[in-house]
């Protein structure tokens, strides 16, 4: 692990991203070169059947601020947790490999543009956000899912599933120290715990460009989130999200 503390960590979960990731890393590199602060990029791969690891390693050799971690078990939640806990930055950003949100918009999640927050969630629904090219049925499915999330888990947010979110180092260490969902329910889970903790959570309207080359399976992954929401509620009742990061040993 790096001994220095970068200002920003960009955490990229990557599954079968040999085609999208190299271009995204180039764009991030170009963007970071123009910023006044230090940054690192943490890529966490798992379960790929392609050359994601090799292309990332090749990029990291030329760009030492890029670190790669490989997890054996599957799941975006698992990858993001590993990345958030391996990261060293004062601010830690989840960033989907497709850069559906142009990387320049990351400045909206950092001082001086954004202040006084613990968690800042990119939103495709907040006033001022714009979705480009999204098919109607995908948007509708997202709205239905959000409605279910609001009914069953967390109220007050119009878009918990967006793959672009900023955490302060303290919030990241705390939240990812206790969250447990390995799949895509991790988004709902972290916002759920953050709200229970009384964290300052802001929604940041973003420009978001639909990429038809998605890793998500619409029906299967939606059902997966619903199952994980049920688990989140169970975990809360069992006290697994207690402050000290010491889940009770009773697994009953
Ligand atoms: N490490 C890892 N990343 C994943 C997994 N599933 C999805 N991702 C990543 O999560 C991000 C979101 O996937 P994407 O295809 O953009 O989904 P969509 O925009 O929600 O349709 C991408 O960076 C994927 O590579 C997984 O099982 N492991
Ligand atoms: Mg995407």
**228, part of any domain:** yes
**70, part of any domain:** yes
| CATH code, 197 | 3.90.550.10
The gap between the terminal CA atoms of the chain, to the nearest Å, is: 37
Q: Number of structural domains, the chain? A: 1
Question: How many helices (H) does the chain have, and how many strands (E)?
Answer: 7, 9
Supply the pLDDT for residue 252: 36
Residue 74 CB–ligand 1 contact under 6 Å: yes
Spatial contact of 129 and 207, defined as CB atoms under 8 Å apart: yes
* 2 Cβ neighbours under 8 A, 6+ residues apart: 40, 67, 88
SS3 67: strand
How far apart CA 244 and CA 177 sit, in angstroms, is 9
Spatial contact of 167 and 136, defined as CB atoms under 8 Å apart: no
How far apart CA 68 and CA 56 sit, in angstroms, is 7
**Measured in angstroms, how far is the CA atom of residue 216 from the centroid of ligand 2?**
8
- pTM for the model stands at 0.95
**114, part of any domain:** yes
**Parent domain of 30:** 8-238
**2, part of any domain:** no
Residue 161: nearest ligand to its CA?
1
**200, part of any domain:** yes
Residue 77 CB–ligand 1 contact under 6 Å: no
Tokens encoding 110: 């950092």
Pocket test for ligand 1, best of 16, 75, 76 (most atoms within 8 A of CB): 76
**218, part of any domain:** yes
Supply the pLDDT for residue 251: 43
Question: What are the pLDDT tens digits along the chain (252 aa)?
Answer: 445 799 999 999 999 999 999 999 999 999 999 999 999 999 999 999 999 999 999 999 999 999 999 999 999 999 999 999 999 999 999 999 999 999 999 999 999 999 999 999 999 999 999 999 999 999 999 999 999 999 999 999 999 999 999 999 999 999 999 999 999 999 999 999 999 999 999 999 999 999 999 888 888 888 999 999 999 999 999 999 987 554 454 443
């Amino acid at each position: 692990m790096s001994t220095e503390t970068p200002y920003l960590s960009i955490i990229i979960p990557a599954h079968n991203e040999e085609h999208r990731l190299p271009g995204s890393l180039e764009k991030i590199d170009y963007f970071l070169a123009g910023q006044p602060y230090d940054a690192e990029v943490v890529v966490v791969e798992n379960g790929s059947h392609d050359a994601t690891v090799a292309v990332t390693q090749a990029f990291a050799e030329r760009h030492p601020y890029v670190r790669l971690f490989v997890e054996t078990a599957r799941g975006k939640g698992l990858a993001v947790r590993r990345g958030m806990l391996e990261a060293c930055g004062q601010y830690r950003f989840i960033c989907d490999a497709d850069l559906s949100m142009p990387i320049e918009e990351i400045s909206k999640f950092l001082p001086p543009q954004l202040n006084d927050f613990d968690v800042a969630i990119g939103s495709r629904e907040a006033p001022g956000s714009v979705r480009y090219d999204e098919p109607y049925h995908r948007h509708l499915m997202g709205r239905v899912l959000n409605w279910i999330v609001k009914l069953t888990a967390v109220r007050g947010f119009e878009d918990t599933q967006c793959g672009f979110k900023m955490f302060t180092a303290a919030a990241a260490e705390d939240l990812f120290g206790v969250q447990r969902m390995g799949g895509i329910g991790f988004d709902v889970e972290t916002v759920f715990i953050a709200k229970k903790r009384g964290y300052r959570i802001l929604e940041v309207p973003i420009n978001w460009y639909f990429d038809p080359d998605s890793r998500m399976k619409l029906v299967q992954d939606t059902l997966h989130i619903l199952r994980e929401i049920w688990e989140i509620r169970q975990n809360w009742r069992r006290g697994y999200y207690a402050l000290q990061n010491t889940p009770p040993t009773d697994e009953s």
